[in-house]
Chain A
Amino acid sequence: MAGSLNRPGLRAAALTLPLAAFLGVTFLAPLGSMLARSFYQPRVADGLPRTLAMLEGWDGASLPGEEAFRALGTELVALNRQRRLGVVASRVNRLRTGMRSRIVATARALEGVDPDSWREAIVAAEPVWAEPEAWMAVRRAGERFTVRHFLQALDLERGATGEVTAKPEELRIYVPLLVRTLLVSLAITAICLVLGYPVAFLIANARPSRANLLLLIVLVPFWTSLLVRTTSWVVLLQNQGVVNDLLVALGVIGEEGRLALVYNMTGTLVAMTQILLPFMILPLYAVMRAIPPEYLRAASSLGATFLQGFARVYWPQTLPGVAAGVLLVFILSVGYYITPALVGGRTGQLISNLIAYHMQESLNWGLAAALGVILLACVGALFGVYSRLVGVERMRLS
């Protein structure tokens, strides 16, 4: 009896295996590797194992001994021959700017030599090796497991003796940007709700033919390329754009008083709201369509004003749609990056733009991963609070 009940369940579960495998490969594995990258940095440790072993008992204040110099010299030359030196040098450079070219120059100068004193030869090649700070940078870069990306992502730094302090204010980037990202996402979500709710109501209560037309109007921009929509906002909002031209022609503003509507936070807010609006309207519409209009009529026949009827009868029934729409829009906007990059200018950038920068340009994938992890944690925490307040089980997409 139990077997015959279980078998269809098993079969159904088996049918989801391809999806599970797909999720594993395209979602869980990258997520795991990102998590790992944020604290596991083996490159320098693998490249300079003997040097780092020599530095293990080093006091950090005086210069290390001849053996450490010999290990460094031979390992740098070997790395250079294998063409792996650049990666190691860049990693050390992140802890002490200027080390990249010095390490490369040291390796080149030592090529083919076998000096009596490695210490003299290395310091002659690059005097920086006479400073304990240079060795300290090598030792820190050689830590296989490190929290420095998380420190950096939280605008903290480790001092000479290892204590953790906040960076000077003019160098703090990531925390203010994270706060800004969350606030902007909240603002966009609120605007989408205010704008989307009446539209969804209109569509849900229109005659079928008109409802289809309205739905089409909501969906057409949804099907248009994101890039096209974003750049058309530039055309509309720029200094010499349609909106400003219209306002000038109507005499609302003067030629000199043209409004800065794009390449700033206004641009980001406007463009992202428009792009994310369908994600609010569609779940709202799905829920509203299922609410019989008789309920409102019944409320008014019992003497409720329209506002009372709305607040006590209609609105509570749309809450599952509101919850779903708010969550969708908020989570999508937290991770948005193309639109702010194109229309955000200086002040309209979000945290994902810096993550993209570290992925694509600075190639500091460890820091990008740490920022991603922190963002994920923030969203997770907010989701937790949200589901306590609203209740995920109440959320409905249709």
Chain B
Amino acid sequence: MKRNGKRRSALRSRVCSASIWSLAVLLTTCLAGCGTESVTVVSWGGAYTEACRRALFEPFTAETGIEVRVDSFNGGLAQIRAQVETGNVHWDLVDLEFADVVRACDEGLAELVGVDQLPLAPDGTPAREDYYEGTYSECGGGGTFYSGVVAYNRESFPGAKPSKLGDFFDLERFPGRRGMRRSPVVTLEMALMADGVPPEQVFGVLGSEEGVDRAFRKLDEIKDEVVWWEAGAQPPQMLADREVALSTAYNGRIFNAQIVEGQPFEIIWDGQVLDFGQFVMVAGTPNYEAARQFLLFASRVESMAAIGRYISYSPTRRSGFDLIGTHRDTGIEMRPHLPGAPENLIRALRNDPLWWADHHEEMTERFSAWLAR
């Protein structure tokens, strides 16, 4: 009887402490969420999200009092689709590649925000004219150019240094392993350019069966030496470890390693593949008003240029390029590091998001089959 009573009181105290715990958890979630308004913004992680935090999220909170919670992902629409279809939307805004912005908009996964509702340029130009041709949609806001480039570690090449995209495929003159993104995007385009296709014809050539074969034949030349990466943070790491001698990479990540971390990396701008992304509001977001405020804030030319002061990505609005100036932490001039700088554009390919929206699945299937062989 006595033992029983003791056990019961132990049980009671355990139940008690459990309820206190759950109450505490409830309270803290409430403290974080109930008091102030907040939006959840999903971005790509690493140096890029850090740049967005300082250039966008913090100034936005300072101006509006709306807290920004940051989550990260590796691109794609699956999570957004799952949230929209189950009606359980907990992401408010997502930073998407433009091909996905187009698909999300067509499929009703993103809220409509016409380009005419976005803020004017400082000189009063409407957003529709201020955005570069083809870089706005019916759903997106903000927008940055980034670039797929080849980068290398100077220490891997004591003698002659690679300088052209073709050198990436030249194992005789520049031996060593190569890093490439495990995706047909950028990979196929670079293979064709290295094979002598002029940038403006790349997507035309890729449109035919023979063109795709040609790209894979070019990739066959280096296949055995390639290490495939998936997250944008991997290439700088592999270059620093000298796991690879050359790697394709996002130019901003290499910039961050060069300038902030002092790594002996060089970018080969020849044959760069320019691409861009935008923020969209997830359809059915419970924080519609706050999310819309964020989207408009992120679409201001000044906000878009601010990102370029932390990482070498430039605005997709014409009036933004000249506003960037110098790097916030080191004071160096940003211009020569931007994908859009004229000297970096001598042989550059503008990615065609609409082509990829149609062909991504087919190309990935071929790419997977090729990889597994």
Knowing A89-B106, A363-B81, the reply to whether A354 touches B361 (Cβ < 8 A) is no
Q: Which residue of A lies closest to B229 (CB)?
A: A263
Contacts of B78 in A (CB 8 A): 359-361, 363
- Determine the interface band of chain A, counting residues with CB < 8 A from chain B: 35 or more
Q: Is the CB of B108 within 8 A of A240?
A: no
Q: Out of B76, B227, B365, which one reaches A345, CB within 8 Å?
A: B227
A343-366, CB < 8 A from B: 345-347, 349, 354, 357, 359-364
Contacts of B366 in A (CB 8 A): 171
**Distance between Cα atoms of A94 and B365 in the complex (Å):** 11
**Distance between Cα atoms of A346 and B225 in the complex (Å):** 11
Q: Out of B103, B226, B368, which one reaches A90, CB within 8 Å?
A: B103
**Distance between Cα atoms of A89 and B361 in the complex (Å):** 13
Contacts of A349 in B (CB 8 A): 371-372
Q: Which residue of A lies closest to B105 (CB)?
A: A86
Q: Which residue of B lies closest to A238 (CB)?
A: B243
A78-107, CB < 8 A from B: 82-87, 89-90, 93-94, 97-101, 104
Q: Is the CB of B227 within 8 A of A263?
A: yes
**Distance between Cα atoms of A83 and B368 in the complex (Å):** 32
**Distance between Cα atoms of A45 and B366 in the complex (Å):** 28
Q: Out of B105, B226, B361, which one reaches A93, CB within 8 Å?
A: B361
Q: Flag the segment in A172-180, A291-299, A373-381 that touches B.
A: A172-180
Contacts of B108 in A (CB 8 A): 82-84, 86
Q: Is the CB of A86 within 8 A of B103?
A: yes
A133-172, CB < 8 A from B: 170-172
Interface residue? A239 (CB, 8 A)? yes
Q: Which residue of A lies closest to B370 (CB)?
A: A170
Contacts of A176 in B (CB 8 A): 372
**Distance between Cα atoms of A187 and B343 in the complex (Å):** 54
**Distance between Cα atoms of A349 and B368 in the complex (Å):** 10
**Distance between Cα atoms of A383 and B79 in the complex (Å):** 34
Knowing A86-B107, A98-B358, A362-B361, the reply to whether A172 touches B369 (Cβ < 8 A) is yes
Interface flags, B217-256, vs A, CB<8A=1, else 0: 0000000001110100000000001110000000000000
Contacts of A86 in B (CB 8 A): 103, 105-109
Knowing A86-B108, A93-B358, A101-B354, the reply to whether A240 touches B372 (Cβ < 8 A) is no
Interface residue? B17 (CB, 8 A)? no
**Distance between Cα atoms of A320 and B358 in the complex (Å):** 54
Q: Which residue of A lies closest to B78 (CB)?
A: A360
Interface residue? B18 (CB, 8 A)? no
Interface residue? B362 (CB, 8 A)? yes
B97-113, CB < 8 A from A: 103, 105-109
Q: Which residue of B lies closest to A240 (CB)?
A: B241
**Distance between Cα atoms of A347 and B228 in the complex (Å):** 11
Knowing A173-B369, A173-B372, A361-B76, the reply to whether A87 touches B107 (Cβ < 8 A) is yes
Contacts of A363 in B (CB 8 A): 76-78, 81
Q: Is the CB of B361 within 8 A of A364?
A: yes
Interface flags, B65-107, vs A, CB<8A=1, else 0: 0000000000011110100000000000000000000010111
Knowing A170-B373, A176-B372, A240-B243, the reply to whether A94 touches B361 (Cβ < 8 A) is yes
**Distance between Cα atoms of A121 and B170 in the complex (Å):** 51
Interface residue? B12 (CB, 8 A)? no
Interface residue? B13 (CB, 8 A)? no
**Distance between Cα atoms of A346 and B367 in the complex (Å):** 11
**Distance between Cα atoms of A171 and B177 in the complex (Å):** 26
Q: Is the CB of B354 within 8 A of A346?
A: no
**Distance between Cα atoms of A172 and B371 in the complex (Å):** 11
Q: Which residue of A lies closest to B365 (CB)?
A: A173
Contacts of A341 in B (CB 8 A): 230
B343-373, CB < 8 A from A: 354, 357-362, 364-366, 368-373
B207, chain A: closest CB distance, angstroms: 9
Q: Is the CB of A101 within 8 A of B358?
A: yes
Q: Is the CB of B227 within 8 A of A362?
A: no
Q: Out of B242, B354, B359, B368, which one reaches A240, CB within 8 Å?
A: B242
**Distance between Cα atoms of A238 and B229 in the complex (Å):** 14
A334-348, CB < 8 A from B: 341, 345-347
Q: Is the CB of A83 within 8 A of B364?
A: no
Q: Which residue of A lies closest to B363 (CB)?
A: A97
Contacts of B359 in A (CB 8 A): 97-98
Q: Which residue of B lies closest to A354 (CB)?
A: B368
**Distance between Cα atoms of A205 and B89 in the complex (Å):** 55
Q: Is the CB of B362 within 8 A of A97?
A: yes
B167, chain A: closest CB distance, angstroms: 21
B139-198, CB < 8 A from A: 177, 182
**Distance between Cα atoms of A171 and B369 in the complex (Å):** 6
**Distance between Cα atoms of A130 and B162 in the complex (Å):** 49
B199, chain A: closest CB distance, angstroms: 21
Q: Is the CB of B361 within 8 A of A104?
A: no
**Distance between Cα atoms of A360 and B241 in the complex (Å):** 30
Contacts of A82 in B (CB 8 A): 108
Q: Out of B106, B227, B371, which one reaches A104, CB within 8 Å?
A: B106
**Distance between Cα atoms of A120 and B220 in the complex (Å):** 46
B104-139, CB < 8 A from A: 105-109
Q: Out of B177, B358, B361, B370, which one reaches A239, CB within 8 Å?
A: B177
Contacts of A100 in B (CB 8 A): 357-358
Q: Which residue of B lies closest to A235 (CB)?
A: B241
**Distance between Cα atoms of A87 and B107 in the complex (Å):** 6
Interface flags, A195-239, vs B, CB<8A=1, else 0: 000000000000000000000000000000000000000000011
A230, chain B: closest CB distance, angstroms: 14
Q: A171-B366, A363-B78 are in contact. List 6 more A-B contacts (CB 8 A).
A: A84-B108, A93-B358, A173-B372, A346-B372, A347-B372, A363-B77
Binding site for B on A (CB under 8 A): 82-87, 89-90, 93-94, 97-101, 104, 170-173, 176-177, 238-240, 263, 341, 345-347, 349, 354, 357, 359-364
Some 21 contacts from A to B, beta carbons below 8 A apart, are: A83-B106, A85-B107, A93-B358, A97-B359, A98-B358, A170-B369, A172-B369, A173-B365, A173-B368, A173-B369, A173-B372, A176-B372, A238-B241, A240-B241, A240-B242, A359-B78, A360-B78, A361-B76, A361-B364, A363-B77, A364-B361
4 nearest A-B residue pairs (beta carbon): A86-B106, A86-B107, A83-B108, A360-B78
